[in-house]
Structure 1
Amino acid sequence: MLEQRYLEFIEQTFIKYAKVNTRSDENSTSIPTTTGQIKLAQLIRDDLREIGVKNVVYDKNDGYLVVTLPANDIVEAKPIGFIAHLDTADFPAEHIQPQVHPAYDGKDVVLNEAAGIIMRVSDFPNLKNYRGQRLITSDGTTLLGADDKAGIAAAITAIKYLNEHPNIKHGEVRFAFGPDEEIGLGAKRFDVEKFKVAFAYTLDNGLPGQLENETFNAAQAKIVIQGTAVHPGNAYGLMVNAITLANRLVAALPIDEVPEKSKGRDGFFLVTSFSATIAEAKLNIIIRDFDKEAFANKKKLLQQIVARLNGEFFNEQKVFLKITDQYHNIADTIKQHPYITDLILQVYTKLGLKPVIHPFRGGTDGNALTEKGIPTPNLFNGGENFHGQYEFVTTEAMLQVSQTILAILAQHYQNNK
């Protein structure tokens, strides 16, 4: 177990990072998409240099901060990496005020008394699992940023520990802190030539003991419907109501293949935005599925629906569809490298963590990195209720992430010495 001073360090580090607004912006063309992410990367760089880490490089071309700790013994262990992301989700992130609830009593948590914002155990029964721990929340008006600053703080704490305990033998290890994960851009831009590792783990959403070695296949559909607006009194045979067509398109999607009715390995369609007038409608739909064939069929179904609507107007196209693949399931690649999973199972057993291997109902930086030749499943960062005002993490859970990183390095060294 890490000493008490590391508990204090990880909490203070997390709170400092959480206060920096790093919300990414999908409409920006800058790299990173927001200046707050640069500010955080530079803050992390300065903190690492202060604790004595020498090889810390920030690359303005892709927005990544890469840290390299050299092997401190002659060992055949292949270099491995850990990755956490700088940005937070599309939710208010200005003036984040982290609140620490020491020795949490397992009851409802008043986040903001003046605004009447309460995180109730009846809504979030998982809170009871953290009784007695140091619970950290926002003030209820913003997200907290545990996704993924909990992962960052845990990585920094592990680096600090290794730097202060050179007697702990390990092979070469690299850490990367990158931007724009929430909008799927960061890892696609990452120049992995400076991150030469055999495999890596993301420290993203999840609970201790978790391993996510499978993700969705993901695509985004952008649809524009061109209507014809005329006076309703003279509309017969002339008006084409884009709102009506948009509603018909959405109604033609499978009624049960939506997130609120999906779990496990179920896929779904999700309309994420819908704006319309009679003259024009714009829709954004995301498509998700674990199975390659089912994923392809979902895209095909949407194309058929659009073709059917266009068919009503003879040779004139009214509905325009563009489908873009966002990322692909990492499962096939991870299965080709069983050591990556076996290593984690060895570590979890030694730490007394119950392994929970399941598909991640989303994507991480690991999707792009895996496609670039670095197999990268996801571990955990210890937080819960991500992407909203009820997000939380405990100091103890973050420290468990740090302990897991250290145990992975120690086991990997033992396996290859």
Structure 2
Amino acid sequence: MSVLNRFLRYVQIDTQSDPHSETFPSTAKQRDLSNLLVVELQEMGIADAHLDEHGYVYATIAGNSNKPNVPVICFCSHVDTSPDVTGANVKPIVHQHWDGTDIVLPDDPTQILRKNELHDLENQIGNDIVTASGTTLLGADNKAGVAEIMTAAWYLMQHPEIKHGDIKILFTPDEEVGRGTEQVNLAKLGADYGYTVDGEAVGTLEDETFSADGARITITGVSTHPGYAFGKLENALKIAGDILASLPKDSLSPETTQDKEGFIHPVHFEGIQEQAIIEFIIRDFTEEGLKEKEDMLQGIVNEVLQHYPGSSAQLVVKEQYRNMKKILDQHPQVIENAIKAMKRSGLETTARSIRGGTDGSRLSFMGLPCPNIFAGEHAFHSRLEWVSVQDMEKAVEVIVNLCKVWEEEA
């Protein structure tokens, strides 16, 4: 089965995760795809492929090298799609031999892919572009990576003449809600190094991510009957509004930052007169930068509360993930071998920093150095999401060449 056919099959399975769920995985429907992947892996002849109780898929392509010390390499992608846009009833469309004209998505003609507006699209003229129909996301993030790993696994199983060490496959749930590695069993996985296949443009290699924290402000106001509230009522909703209004307007937000600039971003707000809650994500490429932003947020809270003497607010910060470059710099061969594999595939490597995170961020700090290689996904978390078939095919080639390079360098 080609990487395209696998991809088209996978994106039609709704695997959207839920940030407010207390279960793991956060949605049971993620298992629908994971169970299918296990069946397909077993049909390839990978006997140990299985889905564990937490929703992780583990599988091993047994090594066939005569060398005794070939490192065990893992390839990892996540099965869930973003909560930002629905992933139900995805209708993928293949725009063959795209000629560069605008792509109008038929189920919502206001959704239009234009090459001068979407990064890398102008480089895809003549290629086959896959989109959704306009009312859903596509799911290329990260089902492109899943399809590429599965296709590479099939290729290796069909070509035993290719020498490689043990290859581990890991498919995770709940990456999009920051819980993708929460229950992973690295001892069972047994890999020395890994690669997440969850990146954007062909040839990109990402060895640096944001460091990330979540913050939650719980505001307790003074509640009383509104008819008798003069001089007494301190409305928690209004206090929360003052805090949000006090955030910087022209800096420190996703819409005003780029490159290595971090931000403070409110993502959820709920409350009643007596109590309100604001949730934030805080991002920076250094831990010092995170601390500065958290101190700034606390300062804003303190200043606002000066106008509400009877009220209180508690800011709680929770670590989410850290910049994986700190770990990867200690293992230069992981990056070096990826560059060699891309060169062997006819690609010039483009090193990038991720203004976000991947499962590889946490895996690296858990003991599995794990940069991110391209999957070809673009405009993720939106109804304009797209992927090139040729880019997916090239990602499969890079995965296979990575297996070869690690065996040769051992």
State the TM-score, normalizing by the size of structure 1.
Answer: 0.93
Q: How far 1:376 moved relative to its partner?
A: 0.9
Give the 3-state SS of the residue equivalent to 2:333 in structure 1: helix
> In the alignment, which residue of structure 1 is the partner of 2:45?
52
Q: Secondary structure at the match of 1:247?
A: helix
Aligned-partner Cα distance in 1 for 2:401–2:395: 10
- Structural mapping, 1:372-387, within 5 Å: 372-387=366-381
Q: List gaps (5 residues or longer) in structure 1.
A: 1-7
Offset at 1:116? Answer: 4.8
Q: Does 1:36 align with 2:33?
A: no
Select which of 65, 78, 93 maps to 1:85.
78
Aligned to 1:16: 9
**Residues 309 and 319 in structure 1, CA contact (< 8 A), matched pair in contact too:** no
Deviation at 1:113, TM superposition (A): 5.3
Q: Does residue 57 of structure 2 align to residue 65 of structure 1?
A: yes
The CA deviation at 1:312 is 4.7
What does residue 4 of structure 1 align with? none
Q: Please list the CA deviations of residues 109-129 of structure 1 after superposition, one character each: whole Å capped at 9, or x if unmatched.
A: 121156554333343263221
Residue 262 of structure 1: how far off its partner (Å): 1.0
How far is 1:304 from its partner?
Answer: 2.6
CA contact (8 A) 2:111 2:383 kept: no
SS of 1:112's equivalent in the other structure is coil
Matched residues in 1 for 2:119 and 2:353: separation? 23
After the TM superposition, which residues 175-254 of structure 1 pair with which residues of structure 2 at under 5 Å, given as runs? Answer: 175-230=169-224, 234-254=228-248
CA distance in 2, matches of 1:210, 1:124: 17
Q: Secondary structure in 1 aligned to 2:378?
A: coil
- Please state whether the residue corresponding to 2:320 is helix, strand or coil: strand
Query: 2: CA distance between counterparts of 1:125 and 1:409?
Result: 30
Equivalent pairs, count? 407
CA RMSD of aligned residues (A): 1.8
Residue aligning to 2:152:
158
- Distance across 2 between alignment mates of 1:371 and 1:383: 25
Pairing 1:285–2:277 present: no
Percent identical residues: 34
User: What does residue 134 of structure 2 align with?
Assistant: 140
Q: Secondary structure at the match of 1:212?
A: strand
Cα distance 1:303–1:398, how it changes in 2: closer, same or farther (>3 A)?
same
Aligned equivalents of 2:140, 2:263: Cα separation in 1: 26
Name the CA distance, whole Å, in 2 between partners of 1:205 and 1:347.
16
Q: Which letter maps to 1:15?
A: L
Q: Deviations over 1:168-200 (max 9, x none)?
A: 111111010110000111212101111111110
1:248, distance to aligned residue in structure 2 (A) = 2.2
Matched residue SS, 2:162: coil
Distance 1:113 1:291 in 2: 43
Structure-1 separation of matches of 2:87 and 2:388 = 20
Per the alignment, in what secondary structure is the counterpart of residue 186 of structure 1?
A: coil
Write out aligned runs for 1:266-281 (5 A).
266-281=261-276
Q: Which moved more, 1:278-287 or 1:168-177?
A: 278-287
Q: For 1:271, what is the secondary structure of its paired residue?
A: strand
Output the amino acid matched with 2:321: Y
Deviations 1:337-390 (Å, cap 9, x if unpaired)? Answer: 111111112222222322211211111111221121111111111110001110
Aligned to 1:5: none
- Which of 361, 366, 375 is the matching residue for 1:367? 361
- Cα deviation, residue 233, structure 1: 6.2
Q: Does the residue aligned with 1:189 lie in a helix, a strand or coil?
A: coil
Deviation string, structure 1 residues 37-66 (Cα, Å, up to 9, x no partner): 111111011112222222212111x21111
Distance (Å, rounded) in 2 between the aligned partners of 1:114 and 1:344: 40
Shift in Å, 1:224: 2.2
Mark the CA change 1:276 to 1:59 in structure 2 (over 3 Å): closer, same or farther: closer
Q: TM-score, normalised by structure 2?
A: 0.94
The amino acid of 1:351's aligned partner reads S
Aligned to 1:328: 322
Q: Which moved more, 1:119-128 or 1:65-74?
A: 119-128
Q: In the aligned structure 1, how far is the partner of 2:75 from the partner of 2:126?
A: 29
Q: 1:340 to 1:122 in 2, by over 3 A?
A: closer
Between the aligned partners of 2:108 and 2:71, the Cα distance in structure 1 is 54
CA distance in 2, matches of 1:239, 1:31: 41
Q: Output the amino acid matched with 1:214.
A: E
Matches within 5 A, 1:110-149: 110-112=104-106, 116-124=110-118, 126-149=120-143
Q: Distance in 1 between matches of 2:191 and 2:74?
A: 6
Q: Mind listing any 5+ residue stretches in structure 2 that lack a counterpart?
A: none
Contact 2:173 2:180 in 1 (8 A): yes
Encode CA deviations 1:277-316: one digit per residue, 9 max, x unaligned. Answer: 54433211110000121111111222232233345555x5
Tell me, yes or no, if the aligned pair for 1:216 and 1:361 is still in contact at 8 Å: yes
Tell me the residue number matched to 1:3: none
Within a 5 Å distance, the mapping from 1:249-264 to structure 2 comes to 249-255=243-249, 256-264=251-259
